[in-house]
Amino acid sequence: MSNAIHILGAGMHPWGKWGEHFTRYGVHAARAALAEAEVAWRDVGFISGAATMRCGYPGYVAGATFAQALGWQGAQVNTSYAACASGAQALAAARAKIAAGECEVALVIGADTTPKGFLKPQAGERPDDPDWVRFRIGITNPTYFALYARRRMALYGDTSEDFAAVKVKNAAHGAKNTNARYRKTFTAEDVAQSPVVADPLRLMDVCATSDGGAALVVCSADYARAKGKQHTPRIAGISTATPTFASATVEMPDLATDSTAAASPHSFRATLPLAAFEQAGIGPEDVDVAEVYDLSTALELDWMEDLGLCARGEAAQWLRRGDTRIGGKLPVNPSGGLACFGEAVPAQAIAQVCELHWQLSERAGERQVEGARVGITANQGLFGHGSCVIVER
């Protein structure tokens, strides 16, 4: 379609718990992406940053912070905040700028430095804040992942062994990824021996928080052609849709769903990809590889169904047959996913697209999904934010 933009290069700073300023990861990733793209920094017309809320004022204006760190050269700048979908929102901003003819080449960057331990709310007595209220009651992030997981077990007969198998698969993928934080392979027994965090989920079913940075160099079709790079992967669809009332799944940080007394129920995760498929003019049956937001192992199975990659309730069967590992018919999270990265919020949705870029341009090395032509990402964050990106070659 006419609004499609090309990906010329991708870059990352390896994920970890490095404790450095987030700018360091962002600049490292940006320079790697520019080098792969063979684009000079001065040729970038727009820097689209994904905000980090944890790193003070420089994080709120991340686009400008990165632009200054790379050296002011007069480019336009913007910063996007959409919780875990911030990176995809920044990518959508770049596409809009390019489509409007306001720039030819854009640099999309997200990076984060995370505190040690579990994410927790701000201090103080704040009973008007739903996030504060649910933590007061003892409802943490893994609570929600566990409720979804238990629901799968009751509805579809998924088992704890299935969830462990997601971890084992993703660990095997991530072991071949030098940008992943956790590069150790695990067995089902290892997962089963890790402590229960929120029944039925164990420590190894739930993702960590990480430091990391990811960047993409994207451009117009004309620019790609002029540089002889018209065969690079294209962003064919981006959805950053909000939920539709009445949203019928209980979502972080809420204590209750919308009421369906006056409106029919909707699933946010299942409606998210629709706009991306429509823009790309393809359907789930065309997808060769997927990077989905596995905040928990069980959530990877939910996403496969929400994206329409398999029928509702059948994701565990695909997993058991080996369909979702590299070499299977539809590899899911060939990067290793959040299981191997841990979440670096503003960088994560960009990192998903980086992986698709490398897969579709046959740069994924040992993780290569043979013959992949269409990839999809899916991601969801707090407060009605989410994203789905389709990349084609």
Partner 1 sequence: MTAAKIRPALEGYLTERDGKPHLLGSRCTACGTYYFPRLDSFCRNPACDSTDFEEVPLSRSGRLWSYTNAAYQPPAPYIPVKDPYEPFAIAAVELEREGMIVLGQCAEGIAVEDLRVGTPMELIVEPLFSDDEGDAIIWKWKPQAAGADA
User: Contact positions toward partner 1, by CB under 8 A?
Assistant: 117-118, 120-121, 123, 125, 127, 130, 132-140, 142-143, 146-151, 154-155, 195-201, 245-246, 248, 250, 255-263, 265
State the minimum distance, in angstroms, from the CB of residue 256 to partner 1. Answer: 5
CB of 163 to partner 1, least distance (A): 13
Q: Which is nearer to partner 1, 76 or 242 (CB)?
A: 242
Distance CA 113, CA 115 (A): 7
DSSP 111-158: EE---SSS--PPSS--TT-HHHHHHHHT--HHHHHHHHHHHHHHHH--
Give the type of residue at 337: G
CA distance 4 to 124: 46
- Examine residue 265 and say whether the peptide bond preceding it is cis (omega within 30 degrees of 0): no
Tell me whether strands 76-80 and 289-292 are parallel, antiparallel or unpaired.
unpaired
Three-state SS for 372? coil
Distances (CA, A) of 199 to 75, 142, 144, 202: 50, 9, 11, 7
- Nearer to partner 1 (CB atom), residue 246 or residue 275: 246
Tokens 């720039």 -> residue:
103
With respect to partner 1, which residue has the nearer C-beta, 198 or 374? 198
Measured at the alpha carbon of residue 155, what is the angle toward residues 153 and 158, in degrees to the nearest 5?
Answer: 30
Q: How far is the CB of 205 from partner 1 (least distance, A)?
A: 12
Identity of the residue, 110 or 243, whose beta carbon is nearer to partner 1 in the bound complex:
243
Tokens 């698709």 locate to: 356
292: left (phi over 0), alpha (psi -120 to 50) or beta: beta
**Least distance CB 22 / partner 1 (angstroms):** 23
* Smallest gap from residue 242 Cβ to partner 1 (A): 11
- Spatial distance between the Cα atoms of 253 and 48, rounded to a whole number of angstroms: 28
Per the CB < 8 A criterion, the answer to whether 192 and 163 are in contact is no
Pick 107 or 198: Cβ nearer partner 1: 198
Can you tell me the distance from the alpha carbon of 4 to that of 327, in angstroms, rounded to the nearest whole number? 29
How far is 44 from 28, CA to CA, in rounded Å?
16
Minimum CB separation from partner 1 for residue 221, in Å? 36
Select 254 or 323, whichever has its Cβ closest to partner 1: 254
Give CA–CA dist 59/76, Å, rounded: 17
Minimum CB–partner distance for residue 383 and partner 1 (Å): 13
Give least dist CB 157 to partner 1, A.
12
Cβ proximity to partner 1: between 23 and 140 the closer is 140
Provide the minimum distance between the beta carbon of 65 and partner 1 in the complex, in angstroms, as a whole number: 29
Closer residue to partner 1, CB minimum distance, 68 or 242: 242
Residue 187: closest CA among 172, 201, 177, 198: 172
Q: Which is nearer to partner 1, 179 or 247 (CB)?
A: 247
